[in-house]
């Protein structure tokens, strides 16, 4: 015999199934929205990557590799290793080895841009400049006689030089030229752009993953409702027949 409680349970079951369908539909729509956002974000990232690639091709700056595929600077592996050491050890940059590809020497990835920046800095930091004094100069109790001096940069960055020093002052401007600063600034922009685009791809993946998750949960709600509805309907039919 079917009781009033059975009838109430059946009614609740049908109501629950309908609610699950509604929730499932909302989640599925949200999932489709996330997928749409992911597609839009992906097209924007692709546009940025294409622009960066065109910029790199226009500049046509390439890294140097030997016949064994090893990165070299001025023909030596040791020179490239010194630049990488500056990049990794001194600047703390995380080098992505796969981005240093002998088959694609064009500078168009974050690591390649940063390596090229470190190359400019390395040769500036380890170079020498010629300073000529037309007359004797005394500075901090030390006398510098008139003549020509070879002044080593000695690992000094722009702010490390004593600009009042008769040798360091002129050497600073000769070592850290406007060209060196401009190249490093331009390469820094390229590196940041490449890293931002890579981050953009990660965000695209995250948005797409959320879309997939919402679709799966929405589908699960419909699947559960499919099982709940027949059982509730059977109970309701029995209750009606008994009545």
Spatial separation of the C-alpha atoms in residues 43 and 35, rounded to whole Å: 12
Spatial separation of the C-alpha atoms in residues 76 and 66, rounded to whole Å: 8
Work out the average pLDDT over 22-26. Answer: 90
What's the domain range around 9? 4-242
Rounded percentage of the chain residues whose pLDDT exceeds 90? 77
Query: Residue 230: what pLDDT?
Result: 55
Rounded percentage of the chain residues whose pLDDT exceeds 70? 88
Candidate from 2-16, 161-175, 205-219 with smallest mean pLDDT: 2-16
pLDDT surpassing 60 at residue 18: yes
pLDDT surpassing 60 at residue 147: yes
Please count the structural domains in the chain: 1
Work out the average pLDDT over 44-57. Answer: 93
Bridge-partner residues for 128, per DSSP?
152
Phi–psi pair at 131, nearest 5 degrees: -120, 130
Neighbours of 226 (CB within 10 A): 12
């Amino acid at each position: 015999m079917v009781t009033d409680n059975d009838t109430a349970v059946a009614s609740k079951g049908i109501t629950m199934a309908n609610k699950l369908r509604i929730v499932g539909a909302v989640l599925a729509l949200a999932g489709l929205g996330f997928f749409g956002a992911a597609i839009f974000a992906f097209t924007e990232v692709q546009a940025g990557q294409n622009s960066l690639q065109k910029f790199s091709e226009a500049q046509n700056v390439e890294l140097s590799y030997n016949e064994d595929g090893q990165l070299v600077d001025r023909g030596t592996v040791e020179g490239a290793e010194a630049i990488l050491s500056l990049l990794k050890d001194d600047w703390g940059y995380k080098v992505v080895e796969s981005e240093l590809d002998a088959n694609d020497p064009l500078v168009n990835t974050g690591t390649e841009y940063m390596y090229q920046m470190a190359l400019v800095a390395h040769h500036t930091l380890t170079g020498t400049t010629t300073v000529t004094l037309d007359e004797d100069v005394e500075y901090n109790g030390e006398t510098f006689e008139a003549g020509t001096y070879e002044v080593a940069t000695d690992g000094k960055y722009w702010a490390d030089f004593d600009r009042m020093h008769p040798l360091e002052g002129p050497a600073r401007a000769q070592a850290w030229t406007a060209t060196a600063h401009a190249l490093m600034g331009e390469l820094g922009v390229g590196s940041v752009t490449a890293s931002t685009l890579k981050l953009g791809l990660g965000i695209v993946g995250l948005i797409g993953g959320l879309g997939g998750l919402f679709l799966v949960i929405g589908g699960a709600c419909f699947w559960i409702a499919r099982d709940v509805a027949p059982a509730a309907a059977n109970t309701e039919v029995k209750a009606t027949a008994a009545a």
